[in-house]
Amino acid sequence: MADEELIPVFDRLVGSDSIERNRLGEKSLLPETAYQVVHDESLLDGNARLNLATFVTTWMDDHANRLYAESYDKNMIDKDEYPSTASVEEHCWRILADLWHAPSVENAIGCSTTGSSEACMLGGLAFKRRWQHARRAAGKSTEKPNLIMSSAVQVCWEKFCNYFDVEARYVPVSEEHPVLDGHDLEKYVDENTIGVVVIMGQTYIGAYEPVQKVADALDAIQASTGLDIPIHVDGASGAMIAPFLQPELEWDFRVPRVHSISTSAHKYGAVYPGLGWVVWRDLDALPDDLIFRVSYLGGSMPTFALNFSRPGAQVLLQYYAFLRLGHEGFRAMQGGSRAVAEHLSSKIAEMGPFKLRSTGSDIPVFAWELDSSVERNWNLYHLSDRLRMRGWLVPTYPMPPDLEEILVQRVVVRADFSRDMADKLLNDIAAEVDYLEKLESPMPVEGQTPHFAH
Ligand SMILES: Cc1ncc(COP(=O)(O)O)c(C=O)c1O
């Protein structure tokens, strides 16, 4: 037995100064030592299950975990080498095309992505290219494309506009119009508008934007100007909630103006981080010159993606979740999360100092602010800090531009957040509010920064 193997694991960590942090070390470490260093370093992270800031899946069952361990070495782009994974990818986006009421699942087209951000960028690129083709065909300029969205969009849309040279036109949110609802849309649309983004499950408060109302406003604009503007639904969270909890709500391909829909599989699609989906209603909505072909079973397969290599395991996990849960299971799982969210929000409203901005009735996400009619010695950042001491990660952040003076706190309820855990959180919030309300002098406010980036 080698000498090193006789030394207990923790004694091998000669001292943190012997470990290279920002430079490749000259010498190798034993695997146990390297494991322990990385493992210990990650102990300082928050506990994912207590992270109520994240929308992203923090739990899958043992069968999914087994499948993940069996498939972490598969590369999604190697369609020829992993043809079964490639066909599972197609099953998944066709399942979604059907779930989102594509007029013909045969005629729909879709793909997997690394998450909603990439899926949204692909949706935006299809809009831009379609608009460019139409403008060139009409002999018009393609210099100044613009995209219309709420000022409360997720940052991926800002990135899309920045990276792909599209002007972002923000419709400001207000107390009267907390979400994009079609009001005044005619002031933003012109012949250079490539599309409108409608969010199903706005990040700040979890509310749905009314897709049908926005489509109605665009119909009226078309009737008066002839401009035919398409909608992309950013259903990062809501596209995997609405089909199960609000099946009567027409937000998807039932609305003819909806050309494309994206979602994060790793949010309410119940898959670990690293997967999103985008589906177009038909082949006309996705210009062919954006598609690349990779070899597949002696022929070629169309692909549309920003990445080349990326993990294939999550695609298998998505298929597992679809098979395992079916409509029945998704209804039960999402319904359970919504029941916990509504229970939590109603109890938080009863505590006294808080005013709800949403209740968790759309997606199981809700936000609240501090009642500003009373002068207090504390703010929501202090409450977040106190909760963090008990292990809970409950973010505080300002509302989007135009409402940014309002601070809110938000909870995202996921499938692994039980009613029992929710009651523990409620007890802890009540105890900390009691502590803060009894303070006789103000808490310091220096260095307070938002806990969540949208
Ligand atoms: C509405 C919306 N769009 C896009 C995104 C980006 O999603 P992802 O983290 O999957 O890239 C999010 C993430 O929270 C979101 O809420």
pLDDT (tens digit per residue) in 411-448: 999 999 999 999 999 999 999 999 999 999 998 888 88
Q: What is the best residue among 51, 116, 267 to mutate for testing ligand 1's pocket, by most ligand atoms within 8 Å of CB? A: 116
Residue ending a domain, choose from 255, 289, 321: 321
pLDDT 10s digits, 392-404: 999 999 999 889 9
Shared domain check, 375 and 298: no
Tell how far the Cα of 202 is from the centroid of ligand 1, in angstroms: 9
Q: How confident is the model at residue 2 (pLDDT cuts 50, 70, 90)?
A: low
Share of the chain above pLDDT 90, in %: 85
Q: What pLDDT is stored for residue 115 in this prediction? A: 98
Shared domain check, 176 and 96: yes
Question: In residues, how long is the chain?
Answer: 454
* Closest atom of ligand 1 to CA, residue 120: 4
Shared domain check, 240 and 289: yes
Q: Give the closest residue to 361 by CA, choosing from 201, 212, 251, 203.
A: 201
Q: What pLDDT is stored for residue 91 in this prediction? A: 98
pLDDT at residue 454 above 90?
Answer: no
269 and 312 Cβ atoms separated by less than 8 Å: no
d(CA 357, CA 359): 7
* Closest atom of ligand 1 to CA, residue 201: 1
> DSSP states of 42-91 as a string?
HTTSPPGGGB-S--S-----HHHHHHHHHHTT-BTT-TTTSHHHHHHHHH
- Going from the C-alpha of 354 to that of each of 92, 338, 344, 454, the distances in angstroms are 42, 20, 12, 22
Domain total for the chain? 3
d(CA 346, CA 352): 11
Q: How confident is the model at residue 408 (pLDDT cuts 50, 70, 90)?
A: very high
pLDDT at residue 187 above 80?
Answer: yes
d(CA 100, CA 260): 10
Shared domain check, 408 and 350: yes
Q: What pLDDT is stored for residue 19 in this prediction? A: 82
- Is residue 51 domain-resident? no
Q: What pLDDT is stored for residue 450 in this prediction? A: 82
As for ligand 1, residues whose beta carbon falls within 6 Å of it are 55, 115-117, 120, 154, 156, 199, 201, 203, 234, 236-237, 264, 276
Shared domain check, 379 and 285: no
Q: What pLDDT is stored for residue 448 in this prediction? A: 82
d(CA 320, CA 110): 19
Q: What is the best residue among 56, 156, 211 to mutate for testing ligand 1's pocket, by most ligand atoms within 8 Å of CB? A: 156
Tally Cβ neighbours within 10 Å of residue 156.
Answer: 21
Shared domain check, 72 and 144: yes
Shared domain check, 87 and 202: yes
* Closest atom of ligand 1 to CA, residue 202: 1
3-state secondary structure of 239: helix
d(CA 187, CA 82): 50
pLDDT 10s digits, 9-26: 666 655 556 788 899 988
Shared domain check, 272 and 199: yes
Tell how far the Cα of 201 is from the centroid of ligand 1, in angstroms: 10
- Is residue 187 domain-resident? yes
d(CA 117, CA 289): 21
The model's pTM: 0.95
Shared domain check, 125 and 23: no
The sheet with strand 365-370 has its strands ordered as 354-356, 365-370, 407-412, 396-398
Q: How confident is the model at residue 345 (pLDDT cuts 50, 70, 90)?
A: very high
d(CA 408, CA 178): 14
pLDDT 10s digits, 195-235: 999 999 999 999 999 999 999 999 999 999 999 999 999 99
Exposed, middle or buried: residue 102 (CB in 10 Å: 0-12, 13-18, 19+)? buried
* Vertex 450 angle, CA 58 and 431, to 5°: 70
145 and 128 Cβ atoms separated by less than 8 Å: yes
d(CA 88, CA 90): 5
Number of H-type helices and E-type strands within the chain: 11, 13
Tell how far the Cα of 48 is from the centroid of ligand 1, in angstroms: 18
* Vertex 305 angle, CA 94 and 307, to 5°: 130
Q: What pLDDT is stored for residue 118 in this prediction? A: 98
pLDDT 10s digits, 109-160: 999 999 999 999 999 999 999 999 999 999 999 999 999 999 999 999 999 9
Shared domain check, 381 and 306: no
Q: What pLDDT is stored for residue 60 in this prediction? A: 97
- Is residue 453 domain-resident? no
Give strand ranges (E) for 272-401. 276-280, 292-296, 299-303, 354-356, 365-370, 396-398
Tell how far the Cα of 387 is from the centroid of ligand 1, in angstroms: 25
d(CA 271, CA 248): 25
- Is residue 448 domain-resident? no
- Is residue 374 domain-resident? yes
Q: What pLDDT is stored for residue 302 in this prediction? A: 87
Q: Give the closest residue to 321 by CA, choosing from 377, 266, 281.
A: 266
| Domain at 371, CATH number | 3.90.1150.160
Q: How confident is the model at residue 339 (pLDDT cuts 50, 70, 90)?
A: very high
Q: How confident is the model at residue 291 (pLDDT cuts 50, 70, 90)?
A: very high
Q: What pLDDT is stored for residue 32 in this prediction? A: 87
Tell how far the Cα of 42 is from the centroid of ligand 1, in angstroms: 25
The single residue listed with the structure tokens 């490539």 is 194
- Is residue 442 domain-resident? no
Q: What pLDDT is stored for residue 451 in this prediction? A: 75
- Is residue 84 domain-resident? yes
**Domain interval for residue 347:** 330-437
Q: How confident is the model at residue 67 (pLDDT cuts 50, 70, 90)?
A: very high
Shared domain check, 175 and 40: no
* Vertex 212 angle, CA 211 and 217, to 5°: 100
| Domain at 262, CATH number | 3.40.640.10
246 and 330 Cβ atoms separated by less than 8 Å: no
The single residue listed with the structure tokens 């069996």 is 70
Tell how far the Cα of 277 is from the centroid of ligand 1, in angstroms: 12
Half-sphere exposure of 342 (CA within 13 A, CB side): 9
- Is residue 431 domain-resident? yes
- Going from the C-alpha of 55 to that of each of 207, 270, 366, 379, the distances in angstroms are 14, 10, 12, 24
Shared domain check, 355 and 209: no
Q: How confident is the model at residue 33 (pLDDT cuts 50, 70, 90)?
A: confident
